[in-house]
């Protein structure tokens, strides 16, 4: 590692496991101080392991991104732990699916509350913080998805939420450019995280598949021949947070093994 994020404070939501935890590990390895936020009142075992490795550089805060007071408390705790935030990794999200004609209002509300409302207002609050603190070279990385690049018959609400992430990323980047703050997104493809057990079970239910079959299929369909790993996404996040990406804003970077071509 080269210390590309030395002297930077990175705030990561949805950091208890999977992609968020992998990004945290990569940022810490590159010299960043990190505040990790997730729903649990206590940090996950993965977060605890990282904290043992980086006791002075990692803080954890319980956060519900759908609740404004919780988001405010997260930012207050982050600043108290490590000073002004230089990079936000806006990663918290949930997944659900159902046939279009069976999709209900409750699922719609849950998905949009976390994936769109939570994403936007966390971004808004942190951007205002960066401006108020005079942060130079600030960056926001929103987590989109290949699902935001196209519709899917069983995944209409989730696809729509991730399309909204891409759109908000572009608008925020233009609004923040005069302040020298970059806003980009990452669009992962199929990534082998614990959430995929839930995703696979839903596909098994609605497509009459054996458990594990959908996961096997999607890995084989990736041009590079496998599902992604959380570390594959972490490398892209470190790049976008670093000075190497100082002339990149308003972009959504596909990290998907070739599933989607711009």
Token pair 């990561």 in the structure block, residue:
12
Alpha carbon distance 145, 110 (integer Å): 17
- The token duo for 136 is 């130079």
Query: What secondary structure, in 3-state letters, does 22-90 show?
Result: HHHHHHHHCCCEEEEEECCCCCCHHHHHHHHHCCCCEEEEECCCCCHHHHHHHHHHHHHHHCCCCEEEE
Residue 31's Cβ-count burial label (10 Å; 0-12, 13-18, 19+) is middle
Give the rounded distance of the alpha carbon of 15 from its chain centre. Answer: 8
Q: Which residues are known to be catalytic?
A: 158
- The token duo for 147 is 């699902």
- The token duo for 157 is 């609400």
Q: Which long-range contacts (CB under 8 A, 24 or more apart) does 39-47 make?
A: 39/63, 39/64, 40/16, 43/16, 44/16, 44/17, 46/16, 46/17, 46/21, 47/15, 47/16, 47/21
Which element (helix H / strand E) includes 242? none
Alpha carbon distance 81, 32 (integer Å): 13
């Amino acid at each position: 590692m080269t210390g590309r994020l030395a002297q930077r404070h990175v705030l990561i939501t949805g950091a208890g496991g999977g992609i968020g935890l992998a990004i945290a590990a990569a940022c810490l390895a590159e010299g960043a101080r990190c505040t990790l936020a997730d729903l649990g009142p206590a940090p996950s075992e993965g977060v605890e392991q990282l904290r043992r490795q980086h006791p002075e550089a990692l803080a954890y805060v319980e956060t519900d991104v759908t609740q404004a007071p919780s988001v405010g408390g997260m930012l207050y705790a982050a600043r108290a732990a490590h000073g002004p935030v230089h990079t936000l990794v806006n990663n918290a999200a949930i997944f659900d699916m159902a046939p279009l004609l069976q999709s209900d209002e409750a699922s719609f509300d849950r998905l949009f509350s976390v994936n769109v409302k939570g994403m936007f207002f966390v971004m808004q609050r942190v951007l205002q913080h960066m401006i108020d603190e005079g942060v130079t070279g600030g960056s926001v990385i929103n987590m989109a998805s290949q699902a935001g690049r196209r519709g899917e018959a069983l995944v209409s609400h989730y696809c729509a939420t991730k399309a909204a992430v891409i759109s908000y990323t572009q608008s925020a980047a233009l609004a923040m450019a005069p302040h020298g703050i970059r806003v980009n997104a990452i669009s992962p493809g199929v990534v082998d995280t614990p959430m995929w057990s839930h995703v696979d079970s839903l596909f098994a239910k609605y497509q009459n598949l054996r458990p594990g079959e959908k996961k096997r299929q999607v890995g084989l369909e990736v041009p590079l021949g496998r599902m992604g790993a959380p570390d594959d996404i972490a490398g892209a996040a470190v790049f976008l947070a670093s000075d190497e990406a100082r002339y990149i804003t308003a972009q959504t970077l596909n990290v998907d093994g070739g599933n989607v071509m711009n």
